[in-house]
Structure formats: C-alpha cells, structure tokens
Structure 1
Amino acid sequence: MLSYSHKNTSTATWAIMFLLISPTIFFTSSISALDPRWAAKRKRMSLKVRDMFYHAYDNYLTHAFPHDELKPMSKSFTDSLSELGNLKLEHLSEQYKGLALTLIESLSSLVIMGNITEFERAVYWLADNLAFDVDVRVNLFECNIRVLGGLVSAHILATDSTNRLGQRVYNNELLSLAQDLGQRFLPAFDTPTGLPYAWVNLKYGVMENETPETSTSGCGSLILEMGALSRLTGDGRYENAALRALRKLWSMRSSLNLLGTTLDVETGNWIEHSSGIGAGVDSFYEYLIKAHILFGKDEFWMMFQSAYLGVQKYFRHGPWYHEADMRTGMATYWQLTSLQAFWPGVQVFVGDIAAANSSHREFFHVWEKYGVLPERYLLDQQVVHPTERYYPLRPELAESTFYLYQATKDPWYMEVGESMLNSLNQYTKVEGGFASIKDVATMQLEDHQHSFFLAETCKYLYLLFDDSFLSGRNYIFTTEGHPLPVLSSWHERLPQTYLPSNWTSFESIHQARQTSAMSSRICPAIPLNSQHPNQQIESACHVLDAREDHRCLTDEDCGVDGMSCRRRSCSVAGYCGLWLRL
C-alpha cells in the first residue's frame, strides 16, 4: 500500500509565458490582493484544498487501488478505463482489473503540492507493476489525455532535478510505459482518412466491425500528448499520426470555419452538423492554441485564429455561447454545457480578458444558483436540463478561475475559488471520498469519484491559492491538467513572448501594457502610443461587440480584424467589416 507524507510549500510569484497583466479590476473585493491578510487567507485556502485532495487520494488508496477509480459511498472500486466514453458499455472485458488510473492521474498533483516522497513511491510502483498488454477496449481520446498524458508529464517531472528522486535510480520507466502505450494507439489511425477510430483494444488493436463514429475532440485533441511523446523519444510516428488527423479534420471545416460534433473516420463525412464549444468539440479549440505555444508551429496559430473568429461570430450571444449548424451558422441549441466553462481560460491565452471575464461571471452565477454547475442548462428558459442534471466533479470552472486570476490579479477570483471549495466540501464530501452529484436540484449523490477530480479540480483550486510550483517555470497544462514544459528545443521558432526574459511578473503589474501575448507578433502594423503606456492593444483574434445587439454605431465599436490586422469600420447598416474605401 502506498502512503504519503504532507509537505508544505511556500507562496511565490509565478511568471507565466502567456500571462496577460491588466490594470482593470472587473470586480471589487473586501481584501486587496496586496493586503497581508489576503496572503494569510490564501494559505488557509491552499491547506483546505490540500486536505480535500488527500481525502480523495487516501480513500482511493485504501478502497480502490490499484483499480481505476474509487466508489466513495460504497468504499469500493470501478475498473472504469474500459467504460470511459462507452455510454452503451459495449465490449467490456471481464478480465480487465484496472490500470491504477487514479494513481496515474494524481502524479503531477502530488508534485505541485510538494509531496515528492509520495510521487516517488507512486512512480516506482508503476514502473514495477504497470503493463498495457491487456485485453481491454478503451476510448482513444480518454486514454490519451488521462494515461498517456499522465505518464509523459510525470516522466518530465521525475527527470526534473528540482524534484530530487532519491529512493533509487530512475531509468525512464514511465517514458518506456508511455511509448508502449503510444504504439498501441497507432493501429487506430490506420483508416482511409487518417482520422483515428474512437476505440482501440490495447492488446489486439482495432476490433472487427468497430464503429467508425468519433467526435471532433476525439480525433483533434491528441497532438499535445503524442507530440510530446515523439519529442521525448525521437520517434516521430506519434506526432505525425496526430498531426495528420488534425490536418484532415481542419480540411473538413465548413466555409464558415466551423466544425461539426461527430464524424465518420472511414468516409470523412460529418454525422452531426450542429456544433459549439462544449462536449464533443471543446478540447479541439484548446489544443490548437496550446499546440502553437508548446511546439511553435504557425500552422496551429492560423487554424486557431480562424476557428476562434468563427466561434465569436456564430456561437456568441453576449456572454453566452449557443450551438449552431456548421453549414449555415444558424442557432440550433440554446444551452450551456458545463464543459464550456473552459472557454474563458482559452480566451486568456489570446488576451480577450473582458470577454473571458464576462462569460466566466455567467458560469459562476449558474454555479451559485445551484451550488454546483449542472451538466446542461437551458439558456432560453434559464432552467437546468430535464435529464442531464448531474455534476460529476468537473474542473473547467476552477481552471478558468485560475487563469483569470493570473491574468488580472483580481482577488475576486479567489473568492470564487473559495466559494467552489466550500460547495465541494458541503455537497460532495462523504466519508469515503468525494461523490459526484446525480441531480443538482436535490443534491442526490452518485457513487463515483472521477480521476479528473484529483488531476484537475483539486489541482487548479490549489494553484489558484498557491502557485509556487510554477515560479520561474514555463508550462502548458493539457486538457486533463497534466503540465508539459515549453522548451525551445521543441520549437521550430520560439516566439519572443515566451522567452523567460520577456515574461510578465506580478512585480511589474503597474509597468505592463494591457496587451495580447500574440498581438505584437501578429499585428505589428498597429503602433504603440508611447505617451499612453497603458493603452490596450487588442488581441489578434479580438472580435469586439460593444453593444448587446451586436450592431455598431461608430468605427470605434468594431476593433481590429483578426485575419488582416486592419482596423474594421462600421457600415451604414450598422455592421462591422472591412469596407473598400474609394
């Protein structure tokens, strides 16, 4: 049985590569971010998150390890890796007995919380016991972001000299396991289109008569983990497979630069044309911008830029994002899904802080209304969805709260985090761990503690209150919350914005311009006014909607075009665009 020793970590300043410092405070707080009382409160809150993490982790070790996930109410386990994404529970193997999924997912959280002793014990247990030659059909996307991403990230952390593994010599065992798993993924990409099957058997490859249906996220959110694996091993097959799939997926976009939700990997045809930024598509957008930062390819930035403008034009309705038909841009479903709460965090990456804040505020209002965030919320009726009323301990709102605090240093976001922390302890904590909520209206519990609760929810809340792990470091977090370092050796060309000498730190908050991390590189034609050092330079992707009806009155309402970097003007009819001036 694994055990742990708690270690305290000190608070320090984080200089993050994409950090956007803004002097604008969108909310007021009773305590200033510079007030010593707030530092003490941050410390108390970080300790509460630490306690929450270890309550979940200890109970997993006691009642479920080495199976996949904990059932906290019955204090038992589920071998859930074969079930992830498998709504019909087809082809489940009775021989499968778990792969210590929650332990793998917890590795980077242990390091971030300073518990190197337990991290080391977990690493060597996996090195001695984990094997993937098992007859189990898994969801490629879920296994990639949870298991492959967890192993790759943990390998990088294990080889970081600051973590000082000393129990025995680390011989890259986690990387060897990751490479073995990556090789077992490759048969899924053997399709006429290069788009991977959603399902692969770890022992036998793609099963006969496997379904060709997959999601946009499922085949467009593989590049970070598989790309990192290629960079670490020198074997380009993993990155090439993921990149080929991503390029094929991008070629299937509509003339509006929108993508559907589900597709056929054998024919390359769309199955579901309705799309949005939620389930089935969400991490596709996230991985485009993060892949650009991690690998430095302009190709990823150009994809993201076009896709982001499409989202802003066809999905956005004030602070909300509805769903629309990829072919026409016409609205299809007016609903919030909890997975959409990642979007404000993505907007921080490109400098659209005001838009990120606006959407985040609406998500948090729904959280306050129910105590947690329901899986689906009907925007047109302002009520929870009649059937999808659950909250499975999702991390997305905590993630965006963390990014927005880092971008603004507004202590209001910490108050949001404190409210979320209190809700989780009040409504989901049980003696045997933390349980999902089956119905947000009644707070009826469900006997499942998802591995992402330890990999993401606890991690982002902890980083919100104690970011000392990130001081002086340069990381991108995967969609499952696993940190990957931004290294110049992985880049075709490292943008100046990401060089350590150019990072923006908390100490320089009053000297920093309010600027997008991309804008000076993408829009050099827009000059800075040296007489106004705090002027705002709009993000290269910024689509300004100054009024609720999305119509303009003057050219000032229209902002900068994300494609050409030219100033947009307001037409006589009241629409923003690039109009030919004769």
Structure 2
Amino acid sequence: MSPSKSAVRVWTWALLFLVIFSTTITNMAMSEVGFREAAKKKYMSEKVRKMFYHAYDNYMTHAFPHDELKPLTKTFTDSLSELGNLKLEHLPQHYNGSALTLIESLSSLVVLGNYTEFERAVWWLSDNLTFDVDARISLFECNIRVLGGLVSAHILATDSTSRFIQGTYKNQLLNLAEDLGQRFLWAFDTPTGLPYAWINLKYGVMENETTETSTSGCGSLILEMGALSRLTGDSKYEAVALRALRKLWSMRSSLDLLGTTLDVVKGEWIEYSSGIGAGVDSFYEYLIKAHILFGREEFWDMFHSAYLAVQKYFRHGPWYHEADMRTGKATYWQLTSLQAFWPGLQILVGDIAAANSSHREFFHVWERFGVLPERYLLDREMLHPTEKYYPLRPELAESTLYLYQATKDPWYMEVGESIVNSLNTYTKVEGGFASVKDVTTMQLEDHQHSFFLAETCKYLYLLFDDSFLAGKNYIFTTEGHPLPVRNSWHERLPEAYTPTNWSYVKSENQAKRASAMSLQVCPDTLTGGRNDGYWVESACHVRDARADHMCQTDEECGIDSTTCRKRTCSMAGYCGLWLFIA
C-alpha cells in the first residue's frame, strides 16, 4: 500500500523542519564559537595592552628620558652605549641617555591606537633628542633600535590615510634619522666597505677601535638605511649598506655558508662556525625582507642560495645545529632563543609545514621551563651552564604571530595566551617587567629591555588584534618596526605581491587585509618557460645524499616555496615536487 498524500505531506514537513532545525542549531553553534573566539581575542588583547602600559608607564615614571628601565629598583640605565658591549668597555662619562625606550615604543603606541601619546612623544623627541653626544655605540644595535624606530615612526606620522598626528609635523623625526645616518657613514670608511661594529656618535671611529664584527652586524643594515635613502632621496645610505652586504656575500664559502665573526679591515673570517642564531640570524632575515621591501632580485638570489645551504647543512629534523662554513660539518648542537625567529622567516617563503614543526619544538621548550632559555644543549639535553637567562625576548611570539596570520589556526592563539600568562606570572613586578636571570629558579634581573615594548608586546597584541594590519602591507624590521611595502620603492614589484598571483587569497576583502606575513613569496624562478615535466628543487630543500638529512615521511618535507604546494617524500628519501607545466 502506498502512503496517503496527507501522510507524505506530514513526513515532508517533518523532514523539512528537521533540516531547518538542524541548520539553525549548527549556525547557532558556529555563531557561538565565533562569538567565543572574538570575546577571547578581545580579552587577550586587553591583557596585552595592560602589559604594555605597565612597562611603558613605569619607564616614563622612573627612567625617562634615560634609555631603559630597571624595574626592580625603579631606576634607569643609559644602556645605548652598553648594548652588545659585553665587557662594558669605553663607557661614556657624561652620557645621559637618548630616550631609547620611548623611541622603541613609538610604533607600538600606534599599533595600540594611542595616537595622543604617539604625538606627544614625537613632539618631545623633535625638541629634545640629539645625537651629538660623546658616546660609543654599537652600529647594529643603534641601527635597528634608533634609526629603525625613527624611520618607522616618521612613516606613521606622515600617513595621510590615518593622520596619527594632528599638529604641524615638519619631518622632524626624519631629520633626526638623517643626522644619525650621516654619523653611521663614518663606520663604512674601511678598505673592504665592511663597517666597524662601533662608532662614537660625536667623533666617529675611535683610535685603535676593534676591527671585529659579526655577520649580522654588517649584513643587517639594508632595511633601515635603504628606507632612509628612499625617504630622503639621498642614495648614499643604501649604497654603503648594499656595498657591505655584497662584500659579505662574496666571502661565503663554496657551500654558500657564512661564518659568525670577521675582520672588517682584512676582510677575513675569525669564527668559521655558523648557524641561524646569535651573530647571523638577522642576516638571513634581512635578505628576504629586503627583497619584499625593495623588489631587487639580487636579494632573492642571495637568500635563495643561503636558505638552501641552511636547510642542507644546519637542519636536523625540526632543529637547526651549527656547522663549519668550510666543510658543513656539525660543530655545536644547541638551541638558542634567537633561533625562534626562524619559523616566522619560513612563513615569508611559504615553508609552512617546516615552520610549524620548528615552532612547536620551541614552544615545548617554553612549556618545560616557563620561558625560553637563552641556550639549550641539544646533544646533552641540558641547559647551558652559564646562559640560563631569558631577557624578555620576542622571537617566539613573533613566529607565533606569523604562523597564525598564515594559517588562522586558533592553536597559535593558545600559544600566545600561554606566553602572556608566563610573562605575567614570572616577569611582572611592581616596577615593570624584569628579565629572568636563571630559568631554573626564576630569579629576576633588574633590566627591562626596550625590545619588550618594541617587539614582545607588539607581536602578542597583533596576534589577538590585527586591526593595525587591515588594508596595509607591512614588513617588520628585526626590532619590530613596521615599514610599508610600496610600489614606489620597488625596482620591480615581486609577483607574489600583485593581486593576480594571490592564488591563496579567496576574496577581494581578504586581499585588502593581507599582510607580508600572510602573503608567502613564491617566485616561480625555476620554470624557465619549459613545457615538459621536470623536477623542481624548492627553496626549502635540495636533494641530499647524507642519510641523516633524508626524509622518511611527507610531513618532513613541508611546502614548496616556488609553488606553495605540499612536497612529498620519494621512495629514495628525497623531498620534491614533480610538476607538469602546460
């Protein structure tokens, strides 16, 4: 017997009701999840905001206009002349600081939306800051902290779309930056073009000054000095930085590896062991970021070769050890906290899986100790006996932000929450935030570094509130100062930054919100116009005959940076991607 029409009608309406009810419940559940996530972001961003102002207000109360805050004693230190000066040699007698932490905080104030305080700081610096002081400073540290802070803040101050400054701004910060850049030029007066690591801001390079510098020290100047040239129209700042970078690159070994320290007069290496940590880290970072900022293919070619070499000779699973630049033989098996920037760099080249793998290992170490120790001996599974400290470094927070921007995986917000909670639990004191002297006892040290406000707080805030990035495309310097990616600054805009090539951007709305940390650079440099099938070696991995570097699973191979496609592990144990190009 067939069911009656009325029965069919009843069942039809019942089924329709169930579908509507189920859809409604699902939508309500999804809305609830979205609401909870938005509420969580709001709560955490406010928590980070309070962290920043606890550090900033205490600096302004107890240390300003000196360089940095000593939070335990609520006093100050004029530390610009001490940065990188491990032996505290040649300290000035009459130096009273350069408001270093205020300069470092300028872009963070804009990120947090405090335009009133930003404007007040700009006017104070315009009227009071001078570099005509008898103080010996680190070229590298002064470049990334002071010059970078001033250049970035000038760009923000002149942003016609945002109007962060309501008064009459007449390029005062740019004038200060140019005065500082002019003083930097003294350091480059060497037979090699490699700059001295130390200069006196008033008198230039001092007699009998050391000729030793680091790879980072002479290879991480191009962003700030290049931006200064673009803003002033005077090419000399970029020219000397570029000459130094080219000389440094010419000193690489046949393996495309560079050492850690060198002599700027002789043009010879002093320390042959190298890695991706202290003394070298920002060299790699500035090659890829200079390519993004200025569009010069020369930077990509350098980075591509250097990155291949890192993956071949330093990488061991998710970790990166150090190796001799001449032989590629492993030297030191250790984790250093500065290495935690590397996953963020890998996001810029599209190697997302590899970035995630290393990031998770760093976070496991963070969870184990509560913070990230300065140095951990991987081969002995123990802390370095003399480097057990954590000076409020930002690198893990930085990579967490990049990975979240690239993947939108909420797990990274959980990582950020853990970092925030640890900082508040272990380092917050009445007078600010103090560095950790020993991670095994959480004994504190009386120092609040300026990069805590310039980077650590900024990256954590952007993780939970990225409204500053909406409609903008910035790259961040190694000190966290934003520089905009502009067509006018490019020799040729990389294809990855033109809308037609944003294959992973789903809508125009998303494209407008995209930033340099979510737009992976994937230049198709290896196709060569061919139309046959062939093997592409990615920027993330080359075929390697050494058994300890060969892959065993697809997950070890990550994402191909020339196509942004997932790589696979072949039967022979090599990572790669077979392309058939129409």
Give the TM-score of the pair, scaled to structure 1: 0.86
**Residue 163 of structure 1: CA displacement?**
3.3
How many Å separate the matches in 1 of 2:274 and 2:306?
A: 12
How many Å separate the matches in 2 of 1:408 and 1:563?
A: 18
1:93-132 deviation line (CA, Å, top 9, x unaligned): 1100000000000000000010000000000000000010
- In the other structure, the counterpart of 1:356 is 355
**Residue 342 of structure 1: CA displacement?**
0.2
Q: Which has the larger radius of gyration?
A: 2
SS at match of 1:492: coil
Cα distance change on mapping 1:31 and 1:560 into 2, 3 Å: closer
How many Å separate the matches in 2 of 1:438 and 1:199?
A: 27
| Alignment map for 1:433-472 (pairs within 5 Å) | 433-472=432-471
How many Å separate the matches in 2 of 1:327 and 1:540?
A: 21
How many Å separate the matches in 1 of 2:181 and 2:338?
A: 26
| Alignment map for 1:332-347 (pairs within 5 Å) | 332-347=331-346
How many Å separate the matches in 1 of 2:335 and 2:56?
A: 31
**Residue 508 of structure 1: CA displacement?**
8.0
Q: Does the CA contact (< 8 Å) of 1:519 and 1:539 recur in 2?
A: no
How many Å separate the matches in 1 of 2:280 and 2:93?
A: 32
**Residue 383 of structure 1: CA displacement?**
1.5
**Residue 465 of structure 1: CA displacement?**
0.3
Q: Does 1:114 align with 2:101?
A: no
| Alignment map for 1:375-524 (pairs within 5 Å) | 375-499=374-498, 505=505, 517-519=520-522, 521-524=524-527
Q: Structure 2 counterpart of 1:51, which letter?
A: K
How many Å separate the matches in 2 of 1:390 and 1:554?
A: 36
| Alignment map for 1:112-511 (pairs within 5 Å) | 112-499=111-498, 505=505
**Residue 518 of structure 1: CA displacement?**
3.6
**Residue 161 of structure 1: CA displacement?**
2.0
List gaps (5 residues or longer) in structure 1.
Answer: 1-29, 529-536
How many Å separate the matches in 2 of 1:331 and 1:257?
A: 15
Cα distance change on mapping 1:111 and 1:505 into 2, 3 Å: farther
Q: Structure 2 counterpart of 1:44, which letter?
A: Y
Q: Does the CA contact (< 8 Å) of 1:73 and 1:447 recur in 2?
A: yes
SS at match of 1:521: coil
How many Å separate the matches in 2 of 1:83 and 1:454?
A: 19
Q: Does the CA contact (< 8 Å) of 2:314 and 2:321 recur in 1?
A: yes
Cα distance change on mapping 1:570 and 1:200 into 2, 3 Å: same
- In the other structure, the counterpart of 2:8 is none
Q: Structure 1 counterpart of 2:345, which letter?
A: V
Cα distance change on mapping 1:538 and 1:510 into 2, 3 Å: farther
- In the other structure, the counterpart of 1:90 is 89
- Between 1 and 2, higher relative CO (CA 8 Å, sep ≥ 6) is seen in 1
Q: Does the CA contact (< 8 Å) of 1:275 and 1:325 recur in 2?
A: yes
- In the other structure, the counterpart of 2:20 is none
**Residue 381 of structure 1: CA displacement?**
1.8
- In the other structure, the counterpart of 1:41 is 40
SS at match of 1:180: helix
Q: Structure 2 counterpart of 1:127, which letter?
A: S
SS at match of 2:270: strand
Q: Does the CA contact (< 8 Å) of 1:540 and 1:560 recur in 2?
A: no
How many Å separate the matches in 1 of 2:358 and 2:60?
A: 38
Q: Does the CA contact (< 8 Å) of 1:227 and 1:238 recur in 2?
A: yes
- In the other structure, the counterpart of 1:27 is none
How many Å separate the matches in 1 of 2:464 and 2:554?
A: 41
**Residue 384 of structure 1: CA displacement?**
1.2
1:427-466 deviation line (CA, Å, top 9, x unaligned): 0000000000000000000000000000000000000000
Cα distance change on mapping 1:83 and 1:31 into 2, 3 Å: farther
How many Å separate the matches in 2 of 1:34 and 1:509?
A: 22
Q: Structure 2 counterpart of 1:519, which letter?
A: C
How many Å separate the matches in 2 of 1:559 and 1:450?
A: 35
Q: Does the CA contact (< 8 Å) of 1:31 and 1:37 recur in 2?
A: no
How many Å separate the matches in 1 of 2:399 and 2:320?
A: 16
How many Å separate the matches in 2 of 1:270 and 1:32?
A: 59
SS at match of 1:77: strand
Q: Does the CA contact (< 8 Å) of 1:138 and 1:202 recur in 2?
A: yes
Cα distance change on mapping 1:409 and 1:574 into 2, 3 Å: closer
**Residue 552 of structure 1: CA displacement?**
5.5
Give the TM-score of the pair, scaled to structure 2: 0.86
1:47-85 deviation line (CA, Å, top 9, x unaligned): 000000000000000000000000000000000000000
Q: Structure 2 counterpart of 1:263, which letter?
A: L
Cα distance change on mapping 1:403 and 1:301 into 2, 3 Å: same
How many Å separate the matches in 2 of 1:554 and 1:411?
A: 26
Cα distance change on mapping 1:450 and 1:33 into 2, 3 Å: farther
1:305-355 deviation line (CA, Å, top 9, x unaligned): 000000000000000000000000001000000000000000001111000
Q: Does the CA contact (< 8 Å) of 1:542 and 1:560 recur in 2?
A: no
How many Å separate the matches in 2 of 1:391 and 1:157?
A: 31
Q: Does the CA contact (< 8 Å) of 1:391 and 1:440 recur in 2?
A: yes
Q: Does the CA contact (< 8 Å) of 2:522 and 2:561 recur in 1?
A: no
- In the other structure, the counterpart of 1:11 is none
Q: Does the CA contact (< 8 Å) of 2:525 and 2:562 recur in 1?
A: no
How many Å separate the matches in 1 of 2:133 and 2:223?
A: 25
Cα distance change on mapping 1:250 and 1:433 into 2, 3 Å: same
How many Å separate the matches in 1 of 2:288 and 2:335?
A: 23
Aligned residues: 538
How many Å separate the matches in 2 of 1:33 and 1:268?
A: 62
Q: Which has the higher helix share?
A: 2
Q: Does the CA contact (< 8 Å) of 1:148 and 1:182 recur in 2?
A: yes
Q: Structure 2 counterpart of 1:343, which letter?
A: W
List gaps (5 residues or longer) in structure 2.
Answer: 1-28, 578-582
How many Å separate the matches in 2 of 1:111 and 1:488?
A: 23
Cα distance change on mapping 1:71 and 1:506 into 2, 3 Å: farther
Q: Does the CA contact (< 8 Å) of 1:305 and 1:562 recur in 2?
A: no
Q: Does the CA contact (< 8 Å) of 1:31 and 1:38 recur in 2?
A: no
Considering only aligned residues, what root-mean-square deviation do their CA atoms show, in Å? 3.2
SS at match of 2:524: helix
| Alignment map for 1:74-89 (pairs within 5 Å) | 74-89=73-88
- In the other structure, the counterpart of 1:534 is none
SS at match of 2:549: coil
How many Å separate the matches in 2 of 1:34 and 1:243?
A: 50
SS at match of 1:47: helix
Q: Does the CA contact (< 8 Å) of 1:60 and 1:70 recur in 2?
A: yes
